[in-house]
Amino acid sequence: MNKEWPIWEIFIRSKNGLEHRHCGSLHAADEEMAIQNARDVYTRRQEGVSIWVVESKHITASNPEKNGEMFEPAADKVYRHPTFYELPDEIKHM
Protein backbone atom coordinates (compact mmCIF):
# COMPACT_ATOMS: atom_id res chain seq x y z
CA MET A 1 0.00 0.00 0.00
CA ASN A 2 1.52 3.30 -1.03
CA LYS A 3 -0.36 5.42 1.42
CA GLU A 4 -2.29 4.34 4.45
CA TRP A 5 -5.98 5.21 4.55
CA PRO A 6 -6.87 7.54 7.42
CA ILE A 7 -8.58 6.33 10.60
CA TRP A 8 -12.22 7.27 11.17
CA GLU A 9 -14.08 7.25 14.46
CA ILE A 10 -17.51 5.67 14.19
CA PHE A 11 -20.63 6.76 16.09
CA ILE A 12 -23.85 4.76 15.93
CA ARG A 13 -27.39 5.65 16.96
CA SER A 14 -28.92 2.33 17.97
CA LYS A 15 -32.49 3.59 17.62
CA ASN A 16 -34.29 6.86 17.24
CA GLY A 17 -34.66 8.60 20.57
CA LEU A 18 -31.14 7.61 21.67
CA GLU A 19 -27.89 9.47 21.10
CA HIS A 20 -25.12 8.44 18.75
CA ARG A 21 -22.45 6.59 20.71
CA HIS A 22 -18.83 5.98 19.87
CA CYS A 23 -18.38 2.32 19.00
CA GLY A 24 -14.90 2.08 17.49
CA SER A 25 -12.79 3.06 14.53
CA LEU A 26 -11.75 1.85 11.10
CA HIS A 27 -9.69 2.77 8.06
CA ALA A 28 -11.26 4.09 4.85
CA ALA A 29 -10.16 6.08 1.84
CA ASP A 30 -12.91 8.69 2.21
CA GLU A 31 -16.04 9.49 4.22
CA GLU A 32 -18.37 7.59 1.91
CA MET A 33 -16.30 4.43 2.23
CA ALA A 34 -16.04 5.00 5.99
CA ILE A 35 -19.84 4.89 6.25
CA GLN A 36 -20.07 1.78 4.08
CA ASN A 37 -17.37 0.01 6.08
CA ALA A 38 -18.98 1.07 9.36
CA ARG A 39 -22.23 -0.46 8.13
CA ASP A 40 -20.46 -3.78 7.51
CA VAL A 41 -18.21 -3.75 10.58
CA TYR A 42 -20.51 -2.35 13.27
CA THR A 43 -24.13 -2.99 12.24
CA ARG A 44 -24.24 -6.60 11.00
CA ARG A 45 -26.95 -7.38 13.56
CA GLN A 46 -29.16 -4.31 13.30
CA GLU A 47 -27.20 -2.39 15.91
CA GLY A 48 -27.97 0.96 14.31
CA VAL A 49 -30.29 3.28 12.43
CA SER A 50 -27.81 6.10 11.86
CA ILE A 51 -24.03 6.36 11.46
CA TRP A 52 -21.69 9.31 11.95
CA VAL A 53 -18.08 9.12 10.85
CA VAL A 54 -15.37 11.64 11.63
CA GLU A 55 -11.72 11.45 10.74
CA SER A 56 -9.81 10.78 13.97
CA LYS A 57 -7.43 13.71 13.42
CA HIS A 58 -10.35 16.14 13.79
CA ILE A 59 -11.05 15.05 17.35
CA THR A 60 -9.46 17.11 20.12
CA ALA A 61 -9.15 15.21 23.38
CA SER A 62 -8.51 16.41 26.91
CA ASN A 63 -5.20 15.39 28.42
CA PRO A 64 -5.55 12.61 31.02
CA GLU A 65 -2.42 13.90 32.77
CA LYS A 66 -4.36 17.07 33.57
CA ASN A 67 -7.38 15.20 34.94
CA GLY A 68 -6.76 16.68 38.38
CA GLU A 69 -7.29 20.34 37.55
CA MET A 70 -9.84 19.41 34.91
CA PHE A 71 -12.28 17.28 36.88
CA GLU A 72 -11.48 17.48 40.58
CA PRO A 73 -13.10 20.89 41.15
CA ALA A 74 -16.45 19.13 40.81
CA ALA A 75 -15.57 16.65 43.56
CA ASP A 76 -16.24 18.94 46.53
CA LYS A 77 -19.51 20.34 45.21
CA VAL A 78 -21.89 17.84 46.74
CA TYR A 79 -24.52 20.58 46.96
CA ARG A 80 -25.10 20.05 43.25
CA HIS A 81 -26.73 16.70 44.07
CA PRO A 82 -30.30 16.35 45.35
CA THR A 83 -29.26 14.07 48.22
CA PHE A 84 -27.36 16.99 49.80
CA TYR A 85 -30.66 18.54 50.91
CA GLU A 86 -32.50 17.19 53.93
CA LEU A 87 -36.26 16.85 53.86
CA PRO A 88 -38.77 15.50 56.40
CA ASP A 89 -39.69 11.82 55.94
CA GLU A 90 -43.36 12.68 55.21
CA ILE A 91 -42.37 14.12 51.89
CA LYS A 92 -42.30 11.17 49.55
CA HIS A 93 -41.73 12.46 46.04
CA MET A 94 -39.38 15.34 45.61
Partner 1 sequence: MENKTLSLEDQFQNRIDSGENIEAKDWMPEKYRKTHIRQISQHAHSEVVGMLPEGNWISRAPSLRRKVALLAKVQDEAGHGLYLYSAAETLGISREELNEQLNSGRAKYSSIFNYPTVSWADMGAVGWLVDGAAIINQVMLTKTSYGPYARAMVRICKEESFHQRQGYEIMLSLCNGTEAQKAMSQDALNRWWWPSMMMFGPRDEESPNTEQSMKWKIKKKTNDELRQQFVDQTVPQVEILGLTVPDKDLKWNDETGHYDFGTIDWDEFWDVVKGNGLMNEKRLKDRNEAWDEGKWVRDGASAYADKQAEKRAKKTA
Q: Which of 15, 18, 21, 27 lies at the binding interface for partner 1 (CB under 8 A)?
A: 27
- Residues in CB range of 80: below 8 A, 6 or more apart: 74
Q: Which of 18, 24, 49, 71 lies at the binding interface for partner 1 (CB under 8 A)?
A: 24
Nearer to partner 1, 45 or 92 (CB): 45
Nearest to 12 by CA among 37, 29, 27, 28: 37
Contact residues toward partner 1 (CB under 8 A) are: 1-5, 7, 23-27, 29-30, 32-33, 40-41, 44-45, 61, 63-65
